[in-house]
Chains A and B, each alone.
Chain A
Amino acid sequence: MASVSDAVLKEMTQEERVKALGMTTDQLTGRSMYMEFDPDATERFAYPWAPDVDFNKRTELDCDGMTATEVNANIRSLMDEGYGSIVIKNPRGMHSLGVGILNKLNLIVEGSTGYFAVGLIDGPNVRINGRVGWSCGENMMSGTVMIEKNAGSTFGAAIRGGDLVCRGSVGSRTGIDMKGGTIIVGGDTGALSGFMMQRGRMVVCGNAGKNLGDSMYDGTIYVGGEIKSCGVDAVEAELTDLDKAWLTRKLTQYGLTPEKGVDHFTKIVAGKQLWNYDNLEPNEKKLIL
């Protein structure tokens, strides 16, 4: 994709500018999505069944001797009781911890989790003071997730919104199929990160493994370190002042701004040479099939 210069951006309207930078917030289609994203229906920003919680009401939940199902059911019960801040103790690598939280909530995990931590969430602010296994934040819709240590592979797979942040390094296929939101990695990421990425932004402060952004449709990847190789149809684009401003703001927000700033970051976008959406299927082919 040809990059857009700052001069051209300045001439654009705000709407044109955000689209040119891949920051479009197009309303998602589909019955369930419409309910959540219609900006004119503010009463629908929360799910109708979401309990009203008080962030100042805090409690602890000890996972010892509990299954993930029991822990997650307890989190829901506590939210029903109005608790807005829940501290999870002794997770010890438990899988599927904190999945499907569709509400505002401060969730603090004192330790490390296994696979699928805080997947399918829509709204909570999560801090995990340990590491996470594979597929953390998968299909996340909104909210923030901060992981203090490392993360496994498929970090933020198919994420649609919110900020998913890992201070350490993450495994392979980070942000595979991501459709929105922001993934930030303080360290390195493995091979095939951003594979089939469709929207959103990924920031890797360290190095990226091979085949970065392979077959990405859209979206933007910023890498502060070395890129082992770019994947098919992933190309380097100009890092504009707007990119730098956004990177600085976003990394500062999470205390991850590199000492040497963000000027050295490489920006990767889709070359869009694989785009064939507008090509009509030939009649001959239809006849054969």
Chain B
Amino acid sequence: MCGIAGIIHKGKSSNVGGEMTAMLQALKHRGPDSTGYAVYAERDPGDYVMRIKLAEAEDMDRGRGIHAVLEERMAAVDAILDEHGANVKGKDRVRPYALRYVLTHEGDTGAMAGHIEEIEDVEILSMGSGLELIKDLGDAADVAEAYGLNDFEGTHGIGHTRMATESDVDIKSAHPYWAFPYNDVSVVHNGQITNYWIMRREMERKGHRFMSNCDSELLAVYTAHNLANGVSLEESLKRSIEEIDGVFTYLVCTKDQLGMAKDTMAAKPLVLYESDDLIAMASEEVAIRAILPHEIDTTDPYDEEVRVWQA
């Protein structure tokens, strides 16, 4: 059934990583297969953070040769960054298959990202001036500890606990999805999209790439397409209710916004808390209570409801 959560602080930073971990861990029962974060922070002007997956987690069990393969892939990534004139300011290898780069780049980042993804099995999880997207197998506590997310200071974020139903248990099918190549846009989704293949073909004809067979990826691609064509986030969310079939509730983050949309049947849950300086939402109240234990007022958004909040 999957669990989704989102939080946005208005005009200030907070320990968004720790807050998201608490919320997602409270939603573990909705999906223990994988956990993902898309968290946003202010960075030095011109800096990009790129998160890369060199292989799937399960690939690490396929023999000793995998480590040499990963070294080759990492070297290939470095070469492409150099070729495109990117200035790498920092590089962390969080797990053997997970890399984090801090870089500056003046050229076409979309072209550079596309070039990197030509390397076999390499996927850019995110690239943005505010966004960092982390996803891996396991629950929120595991992922947060492995990736050092419990102390992540930022303005807003979304997250997901996945119960795999229509695609495999792997990182490429885990949420959030980055809206490639639109920097700083990420999506988490709870539901099923029934016109997935029709919409996917339409997006592919328009030149967009899909990395998985997970229907949720469509929402990221769809949002990226709309934003790239000058459509506002709010308008994109509204259009999605008309154009995308199925039962769904999904959250979208941009560098300074967080939005939500609920389908015409309102079949997938979302509980919403709003105050003057904080908005938090999750599939279940228990996730909000994990960070706001005192008594609060919460509401359920209705069918076809679209909301957007500014950081």
Interface residues of A (CB under 8 A from B): 90, 92-95, 111-115, 130-131, 133-134, 149-153, 169-173, 190-192, 209-210
Contacts and interface: CB of A to CB of B under 8 A. Distances in A.
A95 B27 CA distance: 12
Contacts of B303: 172, 190-191, 209-210
Interface stretch (B112-120, B143-151, B212-220, B263-271): B263-271
A95 B287 CA distance: 12
A134 B303 CA distance: 15
Contact of B286 (A90, A93, A130, A192): A93
B187 interface: no
B285 interface: yes
B101 interface: no
A209 to B, nearest CB: 6
A254 to B, nearest CB: 20
B299 interface: yes
B298 A190 contact: no
Contacts of A112: 285, 289, 295-296, 298
Given A153-B269, A191-B266, A209 B302 contact: yes
B288 A152 contact: no
Interface string B270-292: 01000000000000111111000
Given A95-B286, A113-B285, A210-B303, 19 more contacts: A90-B293, A93-B284, A94-B286, A111-B295, A112-B295, A112-B296, A114-B284, A115-B284, A134-B269, A152-B269, A171-B300, A171-B302, A172-B267, A172-B302, A172-B303, A191-B264, A191-B265, A191-B302, A209-B303
Contacts of B266: 153, 171-173, 190-191
Contacts of B269: 133-134, 152-153
A152 B289 contact: no
Nearest to B301: A171
Nearest to A112: B285
A114 B286 CA distance: 7
A191 B267 CA distance: 10
B108 interface: no
A75 B267 CA distance: 32
A131 B285 CA distance: 9
A154 B286 CA distance: 18
A92 B265 contact: no
B299 A133 contact: no
Greatest chain A CB density within 10 A among B266, B271, B285 is at B285
B297 interface: yes
Contacts of A150: 297-300
11 contacts: A93-B286, A95-B284, A112-B285, A131-B298, A153-B266, A172-B267, A172-B300, A172-B302, A173-B266, A191-B265, A210-B303
Contacts of A130: 295
| CB-based closest 9 A-B pairs | A93-B285, A93-B286, A171-B300, A172-B266, A93-B289, A92-B289, A191-B303, A190-B302, A152-B300
Nearest to B269: A134
A190 B296 CA distance: 22
B300 A149 contact: no
Contacts of B295: 111-112, 130
Contacts of B299: 150, 169
Contacts of B285: 93, 112-114, 131, 133
B7 to A, nearest CB: 16
Q: Most chain-A CB neighbours within 10 Å: which of B267, B284, B286? A: B286
Nearest to A149: B297
Contacts of A170: 300
A192 B300 contact: no
Contacts of A171: 266, 300, 302
A210 B288 CA distance: 29
A113 B289 CA distance: 10
Nearest to A191: B303
Contacts of A94: 286
A90 to B, nearest CB: 8
A106 to B, nearest CB: 21
